[in-house]
């Protein structure tokens, strides 16, 4: 059985299958994650260390160096770089591309936890892997002329963060700015010396004097009571009453050797909104989250929050707007392409039925391509959306050429004065299969290798390559099978006549005349091409290069440096 016979016998099956793929792709488009960049797991882990207020040289010796040595024992580590400042350090660990970064991150965390007991007391660390989700998707600022910076931060930390934490796909909410209340104990060395005490005695007294712990259980018949020793303190006066030493010489309390007062933690980062002190909270998504849905859910939850009088909430960054605009641009490109393709077909073939085939097949091809993205676990982002937008022209080209070829053959008038009709549709499609296959394969060969690139370029190009390749492959199948079936059943060749049968138009005559001129004087073509090649060479050298196109998110980052 030939291909034409198979298509003719199973015409309804071909159309139903294409319709099912298009519907499935349209449905999957609503569940596909939407984000700015492709979900790329970069082979890098960053460790932030905090060791208090130690000098940089001591921090490097006592903290950074032991942690680096522990990290180098992790399998797959290729490079370790660190930057140490006063009391803090940042270590970047590079792995090879293709490694399981979730497992590598856990191994790094485990290696640090093993040496943590040997580090100076109070040392803390944070391990995070680098991926596009390290950047927030939506950010807000809280401002108030009535609440203190402490109260404003508490509002964000204890009301807004729990409110947003229930959003599906949300990773974390980070709070910046404001002030954190604390009780400060300023020791007097002279008074400590008078009482024969040291700083260690005072620190131990503060540690043991602020304790809340369970000490046992008490059973009374059918009831069981938990016995708790509550020595917690919550005010400066209570801290001052803590006993440092009690012996025959008397009782020495904290207030006898130190000044106790209410204060706030030192802030090394200044956060302002419109020139006024503010508290920021940034919303981060999970790797498989939907940025648009998370941002919309955050806006809805925040709209239901009743803020204290005098507090304003300002949305100063929203990544979902950029993503939505990108999706809208692709939608507009598809619609414009369909309209222009329809006008071209209508102008040259003068049949709305022929035009209808192209308008049906191109969206169905795009929908089926979205289904492939969903099956491969990809998302809508600037690379996949760009691939869809770029593929529209190629898809329309395949459909137009096939429809035009079928229309010419089936609508042609035979020497007997009859129209070739439906019987010529499948032979015309079979006749066009070889050039269609060659054209599609030539285009696929260009994009498929992009999916095998390594490094950062390959990570981003893979999404573009997969999108373009899948769209072109589906376009080939749609053009080869669906377009002939629709042409056979939609176009009425008894009423429609091939416009080309009426004779050559002015465009064909001009084209033929120009070709005859070039055949007689081939050197004219060479003279015209040399300046074009020269202009192209100089233009190539002048055009700047870069990995990603410039993206205007409506904001800017200002970096400034001060003298040491």
- CATH assignment of the domain containing 126: 3.30.70.1430
Same domain, 499 and 429: yes
Q: Residue 48 — pLDDT band, cuts 50, 70, 90?
A: very high
The greatest distance separating any two alpha carbons of the chain, rounded to the nearest whole angstrom, comes to 131
Tell me the pLDDT tens digit for each residue of 376-391.
Answer: 888 888 888 888 888 8
Domain boundary pick from 211, 236, 264? 264
For 419, the token pair is: 């129209």
Q: What's the helix, strand, coil split of the chain in %, to 5?
A: 55, 20, 25
Is residue 59 a part of any domain in this protein?
Answer: yes
Indicate if the pLDDT at residue 417 is higher than 60.
no
The verdict on 390 and 452 lying in the same domain is yes
Dump the DSSP string for 87-128.
Answer: TEEEEEEEE-TTS-HHHHHHHHHHHHHHHGGGSPTT-EEEEE
User: Does 415 share its domain with 499?
Assistant: yes
Domain presence at residue 275: no
Domain shared by 430 and 486, yes or no: yes
Domain boundary among 264, 289, 323: 264
| Whether residues 198 and 93 fall in one domain | no
Q: Check: CB of residue 161 under 8 Å from CB of residue 281.
A: yes
pLDDT in tens, 139-194: 999 998 888 888 999 999 999 999 999 898 888 899 998 888 889 999 999 988 88
Q: What percent of the chain has pLDDT over 70?
A: 92
Q: What is the mean pLDDT of residues 291-301?
A: 90
Q: What pLDDT does residue 496 have?
A: 62
Looking at the fold, whether 371 and 496 belong to one and the same domain comes out as yes
Domain of 206, CATH number, reads 3.30.2090.10
Co-location of 464 and 528 in the same domain? no
Asked if residue 511 and residue 449 are part of one domain, the reply reads no
CATH number of domain containing 15? 1.20.1640.10
pLDDT band for position 107 (50/70/90)? very high
Same domain, 488 and 359: yes
pLDDT number for residue 106: 92
369 domain residue, yes or no: yes
CA distance 499 to 67: 79
* 530 in the same domain as 435: no
Q: What is the pLDDT of residue 552?
A: 67
What pLDDT is stored for residue 517 in this prediction? 82
Q: What percent of the chain has pLDDT over 90?
A: 16
DSSP secondary structure letter of residue 74:
S
Q: DSSP for 158-207, please give it.
A: IIIHHHHTTSTTEEEEEEEES--EEEEEEE-HHHHHHTT--HHHHHHHHH
Q: How confident is the model at residue 415 (pLDDT cuts 50, 70, 90)?
A: low
Same domain assignment for residues 362 and 442: yes
Mean pLDDT along residues 459-477:
87
Structure-token match 């073939």, residue found: 349
8 Å CB contact between 299 and 167: no
Coil, strand or helix: which one is 480?
A: helix
- Using the predicted structure, report yes or no on whether residue 428 has a pLDDT greater than 90: no
Tell whether 120 is covered by a domain.
Answer: yes
User: What's the total number of domains in the chain?
Assistant: 4
- The predicted model gives 412-418 an average pLDDT of 59
pLDDT digits (tens, 9 = 90+) for 448-464: 888 787 777 777 788 88
The token duo for 417 is 């004065």
The verdict on residue 67 lying in a domain is: yes
Domain that holds residue 376: 3-31+350-503
Residue range 349-385, pLDDT digits in tens = 777 877 888 888 888 998 999 999 888 888 888 888 8
Of 96, 130, 164, the domain-final residue: 130
Please tell me the predicted confidence (pLDDT) of residue 563: 72
Question: Which one-letter DSSP state was computed for residue 307?
Answer: P
Is 229 inside a domain boundary?
yes
* 187 occurs within a structural domain: yes
Instruction: Write out pLDDT tens, residues 504-530.
Output: 667 777 888 888 888 888 888 888 888
Asked if 253 and 185 touch (Cβ cutoff 8 Å), the reply is: no
What is the model's pTM?
A: 0.73
pLDDT at 473 over 70: yes
Least confident of 38-47, 75-84, 252-261, 472-481: 38-47
Q: Tell me the two tokens of residue 304.
A: 């239901």
74, 112 in Cβ contact below 8 A?
A: no
86: buried, middle or exposed (CB in 10 Å: 19+, 13-18, 0-12)?
middle
What is the rounded distance in angstroms from the CA atom of residue 464 to the CA atom of residue 50?
A: 40
Question: To 5 degrees, how large is the angle CA 185–CA 186–CA 187?
Answer: 110
How deeply is 323 buried, as exposed, middle or buried, from its count of CB atoms within 10 A (0-12, 13-18, 19+)?
A: buried
Contact 70, 114 (CB under 8 A): yes
The answer on 483 and 373 residing in a single domain is: yes
Instruction: Let me know if residue 311 belongs to a domain.
Output: no
pLDDT at 209: 84
């Amino acid at each position: 059985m030939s291909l034409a016979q198979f298509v003719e016998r199973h015409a309804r099956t071909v159309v139903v299958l294409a319709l099912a793929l298009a519907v499935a792709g349209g449905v999957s488009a609503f569940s596909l994650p939407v984000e700015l960049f492709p979900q790329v797991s970069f082979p890098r882990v960053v460790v932030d260390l905090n060791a208090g207020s130690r000098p940089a040289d001591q921090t490097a010796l006592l903290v950074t160096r032991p942690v680096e040595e522990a990290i180098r024992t992790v399998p797959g580590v290729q490079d370790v770089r660190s930057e140490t400042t006063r009391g803090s350090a940042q270590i970047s660990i590079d792995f090879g591309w293709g490694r399981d970064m979730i497992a590598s991150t856990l191994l790094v965390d485990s290696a640090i936890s093993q040496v943590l007991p040997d580090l100076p007391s109070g040392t803390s660390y944070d391990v995070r892997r680098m991926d596009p989700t390290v950047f927030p998707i939506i950010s807000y600022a809280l401002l108030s002329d009535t609440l203190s910076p402490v109260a404003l931060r508490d509002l964000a930390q204890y009301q807004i963060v729990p409110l947003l934490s229930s959003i599906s796909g949300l990773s974390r909410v980070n709070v910046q700015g404001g002030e954190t209340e604390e009780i400060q104990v300023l020791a007097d060395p002279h008074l400590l010396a008078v009482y024969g005490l040291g700083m260690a005695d005072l620190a131990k007294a503060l540690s043991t004097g602020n304790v809340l712990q369970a000490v046992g259980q008490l059973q009374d018949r059918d009831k069981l009571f938990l016995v708790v020793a509550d020595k917690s303190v919550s005010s400066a006066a209570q801290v001052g009453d803590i006993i440092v030493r009690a012996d025959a010489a008397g009782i020495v309390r904290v207030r006898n050797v130190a000044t106790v007062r209410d204060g706030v933690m030192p802030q090394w980062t200044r956060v302002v909104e419109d020139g006024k002190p503010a508290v920021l909270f940034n919303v981060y998504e999970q790797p498989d989250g939907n940025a648009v849905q998370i941002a919309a859910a955050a806006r809805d939850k925040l709209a239901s929050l009743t803020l204290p009088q005098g507090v304003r909430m300002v949305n100063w960054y929203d990544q979902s707007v950029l993503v939505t605009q990108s999706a809208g641009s692709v939608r507009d490109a598809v619609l414009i392409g369909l309209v222009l393709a329809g006008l071209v077909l209508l102008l040259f073939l003068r049949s709305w039925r022929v035009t209808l085939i192209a308008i049906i097949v191109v969206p169905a091809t795009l929908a089926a391509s979205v289904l492939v993205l969903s099956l491969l676990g990809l998302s809508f982002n600037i690379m996949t959306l760009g691939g869809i937008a770029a593929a529209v022209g190629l898809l329309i080209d395949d459909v137009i050429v096939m429809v035009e070829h079928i229309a010419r053959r089936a609508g042609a008038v035979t020497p007997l004065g009859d129209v070739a009709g439906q019987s010529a549709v499948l032979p015309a499609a079979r006749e066009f299969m070889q050039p269609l296959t060659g054209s599609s394969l030539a285009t696929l060969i260009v994009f498929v290798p992009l999916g095998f690139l390594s490094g950062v370029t390959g990570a981003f190009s893979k999404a573009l390559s997969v999108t373009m390749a899948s769209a072109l492959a589906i376009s080939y199948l749609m053009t080869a099978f669906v377009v002939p079936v629709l042409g056979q059943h939609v176009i009425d060749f008894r009423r429609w006549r091939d416009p080309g049968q009426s004779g050559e138009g002015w465009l064909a005559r001009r084209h033929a005349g120009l070709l005859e001129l070039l055949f007689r004087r081939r050197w004219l073509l060479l003279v015209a091409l040399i300046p074009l090649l020269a202009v192209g060479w100089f233009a190539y050298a002048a055009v700047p290069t870069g990995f990603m196109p410039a993206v205007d998110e409506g904001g800017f980052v200002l970096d400034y440096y001060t003298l040491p």
